[in-house]
Amino acid sequence: MALPDAQVGRTRCAFWVLEVLLFFLLCLSSGLCNARVRGVGRSRQHANRREHRGAEERWFTQRLDHFNGADGRIWKQRYFVNAQFYRSGGPVFLMVGGEGPANPAWMQQGTWLEYARKLGALCFLLEHRFYGQSRPTEDLSTANLRYLSSRQALADLAHFRSVTAAEQGLSDSKWVAFGGSYPGSLAAWFRLKYPHLVHASVATSAPVYATVNFPEYLEVVRRSLAAENPECPLLVKQASDTLYQRLKDPKLYDNITADFSLCAKLHIQTEMDVAYFLETLAGNFMDVVQYNEDNREFEGVVGTNITIKVLCGVMADTSLGDPYNRYAAVARLMLKTFSQKCLDVNYTTYMMEMTNTSWSSPASGGGRQWVYQTCTEFGFYQSTDSPNQPFSGFPLQYYLKQCADIYDPSLNESTLAQAVLQTNEYYGGYDIRTTRIVFPNGSIDPWHALGITQDISNNLPAVFIKGTAHCANMYPARDQDPLQLILARDHVFLLLQNWLRE
């Protein structure tokens, strides 16, 4: 992710629960950075291997439940291989898949492949269970989703590493895990929990601290907007507050429908309808801040010219009318950018999609799965429960009710608080104690608030990159990259060089 409420799933890469259409276009297209996650005996591979943009697709046999020896069920997990740079005796790089389909574009471009070229590494990308084509169960029922967790995903990584190393003569090679956003957390936790299997990890934009309520996300959004123009978050707040008030008057619904190019006439029945509408519009700003100026052209993602500067420019344009009208202009701009005819803010439709348990449902691309993980492990709810952020109307209770409505009434604030506590107890939260993990984070990225931004020790360094957004150091280098980003990539490479000598 991104982490987040989603029509088809998101994490704010992870995280990664927010309006999901943009999440898929901007984050889940990678399946790696994001924030928004992902048997028995020896691996077996399909004979019908396929080529994806030059990356070789293969399949690996995994256990459904790594923690129940009496359960012998198995399934096929998708992975990709790039041996282009491998030199005998070189390291093995393992890219961790995230809360969406694994994108083989990462097997052809990205900073990690530049490291692989210099170090002679063999590269694997393992898709996360329950995402993409890695489907362990016949459907996405709540009963089946109990096999979806970060712990099961780490066990998948461990089994993949062990069997692949044994079969391909790589047991003496040094393995390095890479990941961005939620997969960045997995990369760090893989080193933490299986230190005998992975030599080092690069945990980019990794929210390692779980929390039920995450209003700090929107506080970083405010600061990032203000860094572009101090008036920008004030104008956004004025517009959001105005819309919140107008939603209380049904006589204004026709105007609101036209202003925001809604797909159907606005119909408000409950506070959930209001919250869903307001969160969807806030998502325009949240997504752009999180992915500001990312290099996503290699993933085929359109609309990458929409940046914080562009949005704040619209909000400052007095020719468009008052702040409310400028806010509506932003929504229309985003629709045009992503070739959408209208904006669907029907909460009932969203619930119908999210409760559909079929693999062919709109939410099966990651939304139903990721929100389940937020409801049972992480929280990460980017609520408006802070006075120091510019949006209105989607408090923590809005997200918690979705957990109960989509999956099980027993998923409430108390059970989630216990689950989050267990997550932090198991992984350590900010207090990770191991060696050879580097934590790159961008100052603009709201997820850095849950990440490691200061060195824990000499062997657990942080790389805090001023002026960059989510997972910026993972993307291919460009001529316009700021010096801070260039130096960060170089610093990570020097760390890897040193660690691989140990």
The yes-or-no answer on residue 470 being catalytic is yes
Residue with tokens 């993933």, as numbered in its chain: 299
Amino acid at 490: D
Return the HEC string of 219-272: HHHHHHHHHHCCCHHHHHHHHHHHHHHHCCCHHHHHHHHHHCCECCCCCCCCHH
Q: Which of 348, 332, 312, 338 is nearest to 257 (CA)?
A: 332
Strand order in 74-82's β-sheet?
A: 50-52, 55-63, 74-82, 122-126, 92-96, 175-180, 200-204, 437-442, 462-465
Find the catalytic residue in 294, 392, 470, 481.
470
CA distances from 4 to 11, 30, 123, 239, 486 (A): 5, 17, 30, 22, 30
Residue for token digits 């608030």?
Answer: 449
- State how far Cα 151 lies from the chain centre: 17
Residue 86: other Cβ atoms inside 10 A: 20
Catalytic: which of 29, 30, 149, 181?
181
Q: Which of 273, 287, 294, 445 is catalytic?
A: 445
Contact 265, 273 (CB under 8 A): no
Question: CA-to-CA distance for 7 and 283, rounded, in angstroms?
Answer: 12
Q: Are 195 and 158 in contact (CB under 8 A)?
A: no
Question: CB-based burial of residue 399 (10 Å sphere; 0-12 exposed, 13-18 middle, 19+ buried)?
Answer: buried
3 state SS for 380-412? EECCCCCCCCCCCCCCHHHHHHHHHHHCCCCCC
Q: Residue 121: CB partners within 8 Å, gap ≥ 6? A: 85, 86, 90, 91, 92, 93, 115, 176
Q: Report the alpha-carbon distance of residue 398 to residue 351 in Å, rounded.
A: 13
Residues 6+ away with beta carbon under 8 Å from 400? 381, 412, 413, 416
β-pairing, 55-63 with 50-52? antiparallel
Rounded distance between C-alpha atoms, residue 6 and residue 347, angstroms: 11
Name the DSSP class of 321: -
Residue 65 and residue 71 in contact, taking contact as beta carbons nearer than 8 Å: yes
Annotate 60-115 with DSSP letters as a single string: EEEES-TT-TT---EEEEEEEEE-TT--TT--EEEEEP-SS---GGGGTSSHHHHH
Closest CA to 108 of 293, 297, 298, 295: 298
The H-or-E segment that residue 20 falls in is helix 20-23
Residue 205 is among the residues annotated as catalytic for this protein: no
Q: Is 448 tagged catalytic?
A: no
By annotation, the residues acting in catalysis are 181, 445, 470
